[in-house]
Amino acid sequence: MDTDVVKIKDRRCQLKHIIAVWQMFSVERARQLTLNGQDSFETLSDIFREELNAFQKLQLQRSVRNLDLDNLLHQYYEYIAYELKRKGAIGGTMGDLEDAEIMKSWSIRDTLWAYVDSKEEEEIRGFYTGFPVEIELKHAWGTWKEIVRLHATLTIGN
């Protein structure tokens, strides 16, 4: 009986590792697509595709130096890919579209913080106190692109 339990736990552990590797590759793929000027979130609604203005980019540049950028990229990718993409997506329900219209003015900082907290995962170091509260979900795509660019710049410099 004990060997059956060990086998089941071993399978669960293997599955967790497979999922983690798949998530890591998904984030890396999206990052590379973005760096190559391609759209890594093709079905993301236009509601969430507003670009950042120069001031917002400057705020983001100042804040990312104190953040765990790898964790931020992972969590933000997951939030966009699994939560935002279905809101207002082509073929989505009217309720999803209405939700997207309401959500677009929500702060990315507060929304992503609540999302990570709800999963009971490690918080993004420095995120809540450092990420600009003024950047809203309507800037989700523009923010993703800027974070990817800054991550590439900062990791090349290290």
42-56 burial by CB neighbour count: b if 16+ within 10 A, else e?
A: eebbebbebebeeeb
| Domains identified in the chain, total number | 1
pLDDT at 14: 72
Q: Give yes or no for residue 98 having a pLDDT over 80.
A: no
pLDDT of residue 116: 94
Higher-confidence residue of 82 and 99: namely 82
The Cα 29–Cα 40 span in angstroms is 8
Q: Which domain holds residue 23?
A: 2-156
| Whole-number pLDDT of residue 91 | 47
